[in-house]
Chain A
Amino acid sequence: MVIEVHQLTRRFGSLTAVDELSFTVQPGHVTGFLGPNGAGKTTTMRLILGLDVPTSGQALVDGRRYGDLIQPLRKVGTLLDASAVHPSRTAWQHALAIALSNGIGRRRVTEVLRLTGVDEVANRRVGGFSLGMKQRLGIAVALLGDAPTLILDEPVNGLDPEGIRWIRQFLAQLAAQGRTILVSSHVLSEMALTADHLLILGRGKLLADTSTARFLDSNARHDVLLRSPRATDLRALITARGASVTRQADGALVVTGMDAAAVGDLAAGHGIAVHALTARTASLEDAYLDLTGDSVQYRGEMTPVEGVAAS
């Protein structure tokens, strides 16, 4: 089963939430759906699930529109908003009602509640649950139909570290069984560990569709920051050694392809003074922010700090 999205567009008045989006989610992988808040991840998922109607384009699950699926929970397991429960129902009643709607029996309800660790509080009212416990219940409901496709919107939200690790391993297992799994998140560091394929979204547009390994390779940069009164001379020497140099607005040089020791030795060998020499490692978070930087819709006053805090 694959999820196919063709030229999907959704406009709300003048705002284009999803902009001619096309991608395919393949079975056997955990595909991370990544993007800053407001990038259109949830809207895309809602369009796939038939909760909203696209302005143009289409989304298909197993070659069919979601709304045309019979007993859809057996084809697609979904977690959208774990807090969307009636507070006065117990976890068991909530899961049972949803199970019955697709002809799923009580035994399976007991099974998924045990699998997600909700069984001990199954007879308590959901209103008293922590966000983490609601999240587990939401995941339990997504698993009810033992579906070959899973669509999970921010499943790690509110989970404790143990819970995050559990779901990461669990999703990897489900993918290994040949299921198609689409998991959204706005936190790259989490997705780097959970997903083996990434779809990166910004302002409703697809910015990257790549394997996680390739994204890490091409984006985890190492460089050397250099300040020198004879920057121009030094730059010529470095480029002559085959490394590449860019000059920042403040006059500092950024060297890639040569480590800090080699740069220092080279300068010393030619009697050039060096005022600053710093080896830098650009984190994945930086690469992600670089990529989505122009597309962040709700930017805080101190973007870099917020970016770090989010990780």
Chain B
Amino acid sequence: MISAARLPADRGTPSLAARALDVLACEWVKFWSVRSTPWTLLAALVTPVVLSDLVAFITAQSPSPAPGGPPPDPMFSSFLGLEYAVLAVCVLGVLQFSSEYSTGLIRTTFVAVPRRRAVLAAKAAVTGSVLLLAGEGVSFTSFFIVQGVLHTRHLGVSFAHPGALGAVLANGTLLLACSLFALAVGAIARHTAGGIAATIALITVPSILGLLPAPWGSRIGRFTLIDAAQQVSYLHPRPDLLSPAWSLLVLSAWPATALAVAAVRITRSQT
């Protein structure tokens, strides 16, 4: 029999910052230790690079734009590829919470960290930082390859071009915004299939409204998540669209609103 004196001693209270780092470390391990993470990230990284190269190649091969029409925005094909990473990123974002709810692991998580908003914040920080890096990586890679291809037709721009660096950086934030939006929807839906369906619907259906006849198409379309991200990176702002600063605000409002709703829902309900 073991003596009664072996109870652990109280170690004192760790600081708030130390506890926040602990929760981050936990979510970091969780993020990388499921098989779906590397696969979806790979899809999110490779698809856009390949696609934007393809588009740039086609642009470079095709005859010059119709006389009188606006020249294609040099950032267009870089951005286009990134749009196709959105699907993979949405799945990854939704799974962060929905997989914990569907397996029941969320209860263990909330027993370990009863401050549920800390869990939401840590998951958002981990997923967001990885997807920001991924998005910027894709954005810069696409830019260099695409501009290299376009350069052969003297259609490209370089970093020296005013606003180019900002546009490339802004371009990369699309995946960050999508991943955080999806993560929040996953926490609200608590269901993988439902969460993915809701995320895709909320992101793509408003984009269809952009096809409404003028002026309504662009009036509504400029507030959608994907169009907002695209507007941020346009080198030649158009009068019917929002300015890059306003677009950035719209782009941030999507995940911010969803995360706020998730923060309320996550604390109010039983698990």
| Chain A residues near B (Cβ < 8 Å) | 28, 46, 49-53, 66-74, 78, 80-81, 83-90, 93-94, 96-98, 100-103, 141, 146-148, 173, 176-179
Q: How far is the CA of A176 from the CA of B270 in the complex (A)?
A: 35
Q: How far is the CA of A182 from the CA of B138 in the complex (A)?
A: 53
A85, A87, A98, A176 interface centre (most CB from chain B within 10 Å): A98
Can you sample 15 A-B contacts with CB below 8 Å? A49-B111, A50-B111, A51-B110, A51-B111, A51-B270, A67-B114, A72-B111, A84-B103, A86-B105, A88-B33, A89-B30, A97-B33, A100-B22, A102-B112, A173-B1
User: Which residues of the other chain, B, contact A53 by a CB distance below 8 angstroms?
Assistant: 270
Select which of A46, A70, A90 is within 8 A of B19 by beta carbon. Answer: A70
Known: A83-B104, A98-B26. A178 touches B114 (CB 8 A): no
Distance to closest chain B CB from A10 (angstroms): 9
Q: Is the CB of A176 within 8 A of B2?
A: yes
User: Which residues of the other chain, B, contact A98 by a CB distance below 8 angstroms?
Assistant: 26, 108-109, 112
Q: How far is the CA of A87 from the CA of B270 in the complex (A)?
A: 23
| Chain B residues near A (Cβ < 8 Å) | 1-4, 6-8, 11, 13-14, 18-19, 22-23, 25-27, 29-30, 33-36, 99-100, 103-105, 107-115, 270-271
Known: A178-B4, A178-B7. A80 touches B114 (CB 8 A): no
Closest-by-CB residue of A relative to B99 is: A86
User: Which residues of the other chain, B, contact A28 by a CB distance below 8 angstroms?
Assistant: 4
User: Which residues of the other chain, B, contact A73 by a CB distance below 8 angstroms?
Assistant: 111-112
Rank and list the top 6 A-B pairs by shortest CB-CB distance, nearest first: A84-B104, A101-B26, A93-B33, A52-B270, A100-B25, A67-B114
User: Which residues of the other chain, A, contact B33 by a CB distance below 8 angstroms?
Assistant: 86, 88-90, 93-94, 97
User: Which residues of the other chain, B, contact A78 by a CB distance below 8 angstroms?
Assistant: 108, 111
Q: How far is the CA of A120 from the CA of B258 in the complex (A)?
A: 43
Select which of B13, B25, B29, B108 is within 8 A of A141 by beta carbon. Answer: B108
Closest-by-CB residue of A relative to B31 is: A97
User: Which residues of the other chain, B, contact A101 by a CB distance below 8 angstroms?
Assistant: 22-23, 25-26, 109, 112-113
Q: Is the CB of A93 within 8 A of B29?
A: yes
